[in-house]
Structure 1
Amino acid sequence: MKKFLLFIVAAAVGFSVDAAPQKVDFDKLPNNSQEFIQKNFTREKVKDVQMDREASWDKYTVTFNSGTQVSFEGGSGDWSKIVMKDGYVPMTVIPVKIKSYTGANYPRLGVVMIETTADGYKVKLQNGTFLDFDKDGNYVKATK
């Protein structure tokens, strides 16, 4: 019985070590993730890239020298979250309907974070307001 418990503990430790994020080279990112960075973050220098195994897919997080982070889904290579340390999320990244809504209703506030969710998108404005949008980019609600 003791050997069995010891085996279970050792297996759990092994899985937790395997699940820890690993530093990888930029060229390990999916091609469209690399192109996304090169197109939308031209002035940024990549500090490091972390790969994190989540369930049955990989997640990559690129951190720039500025502290800005961009996360990507490993399978598709599509961005899943952008958190700006300084400045605003590039307008080229923000879906058109969301860009139109924030421009019309929050004209002097920049977007400092955007992420995809199961229901659509979550956006954080520079004043701390969070805006939720559905998958089509239609406004759903705001929270502070």
Structure 2
Amino acid sequence: MKNVKKITSVFIVMFLMISGLVSAQDRAINPNQLPKTAKAFLSGHFKGIPVSSAIEDREIYGVDEYKVYLNNGMKAEFDSSGNWKEVDGKHQKVPYGFIPVSIKNYTGRNFPNTYIVKIERKRWSYKAELSNGLELEFDRNGNFKRIDD
């Protein structure tokens, strides 16, 4: 009986490991293979900054997200439809053209000597990291919620 349990346990562990490898596969793609929405975002907000690499994150059910690395060191993440999820300036000021006006106004008014170096859009909220290291949370309408610590 002990041997049967050991063999079953080994098979379960092997199955979980193999399914984990199969389910999440990143692969490099040509930037031209990005969704139109992502390409339009990049050309509109990062004009003249070449893409150094683009990664497609595939799951069993299809593409989960795209990660784009720019030659200036910045990174942008997009959902499967090409809508932006996150822009990381890697300590550089991110372009403000896509950031909701209420977030730009709040950060400019309350933190005048800083700039946004990273912004993340979630389903119900935004998170913005400032050049001074503070992380601010906003609701989905761009209204300030709190400082994240």
TM-score (norm 1): 0.86
The code of the aligned residue for 1:46 comes to V
The structural deviation recorded for 1:102 is 0.5
Q: Choose which of 76, 81, 84 in structure 1 pairs with 2:86.
A: 81
Q: In structure 2, how many angstroms separate the alpha carbons of the residues matched to 1:73 and 1:67?
A: 20
Q: Choose which of 70, 90, 97 in structure 2 pairs with 1:92.
A: 97
8 Å CA contact retained: 2:91, 2:131: no
8 Å CA contact retained: 2:23, 2:59: no
Q: Choose which of 22, 29, 40 in structure 2 pairs with 1:35.
A: 40
Aligned residues with identical type, % of pairs: 32
The structural deviation recorded for 1:11 is 7.4
Q: CA separation of 1:128/1:54 partners in 2, compared to 1, >3 Å: closer, same or farther?
A: farther
Bigger Cα Rg: 2
Q: Does residue 101 of structure 1 match 2:94?
A: no
Q: In structure 2, how many angstroms separate the alpha carbons of the residues matched to 1:140 and 1:19?
A: 34
Unmatched tracts of structure 1, length 5 or more: none
Q: Does residue 128 of structure 1 match 2:133?
A: yes
Unmatched tracts of structure 2, length 5 or more: none
The count of aligned residue pairs is 143
The code of the aligned residue for 1:132 comes to E
The structural deviation recorded for 1:27 is 1.5
Q: In structure 2, how many angstroms separate the alpha carbons of the residues matched to 1:77 and 1:133?
A: 22
Q: In structure 2, how many angstroms separate the alpha carbons of the residues matched to 1:52 and 1:7?
A: 25
8 Å CA contact retained: 1:82, 1:113: yes
